[in-house]
Amino acid sequence: AAEHIENEETIIARYLAHPVDSRFFREHQQAHAAVIGELRLLMEQSISLSRQGETAAAIRRLHQQISVMFGEHAIQFDRDYHKHA
């Protein structure tokens, strides 16, 4: 995930004249930091659930939550990126 985020930020920065001064870019970077934090928490929760013998449930829950999280991120930022590009 971190590599994907780094690549995405590099691509966005190439298309914005002054990415560091762009509110959109800063907000997008902050959202990426939040995503990484949420991913870490989800992984910890999944490991805990799996250790309780609920591996299949842990995987389903992780998949569902990651799908929602990235879907919300795409709606909030990636559609807007195309307006800025």
Model confidence over 15-32: pLDDT tens digits? Answer: 766 666 678 778 888 998
Among 36, 32, 56, which residue's Cα sits nearest to residue 46? Answer: 56
pLDDT at 83: 56
Query: Is residue 13 scored above 60 in pLDDT?
Result: yes
Among 72, 47, 51, 74, which residue's Cα sits nearest to residue 62? Answer: 47
Residue type, 51: R
Q: What percent of the chain has pLDDT over 70?
A: 82
Per-residue pLDDT band at 11 (split at 50, 70, 90): confident
The C-alpha angle with vertex 42 and arms to 38 and 44, in degrees rounded to 5, equals 120
Average pLDDT over every residue of 52-81: 88
Q: How far apart are CA 85 and CA 77, in angstroms?
A: 12
How many CA atoms, within 13 angstroms, populate the side-chain half-sphere of residue 7?
Answer: 4
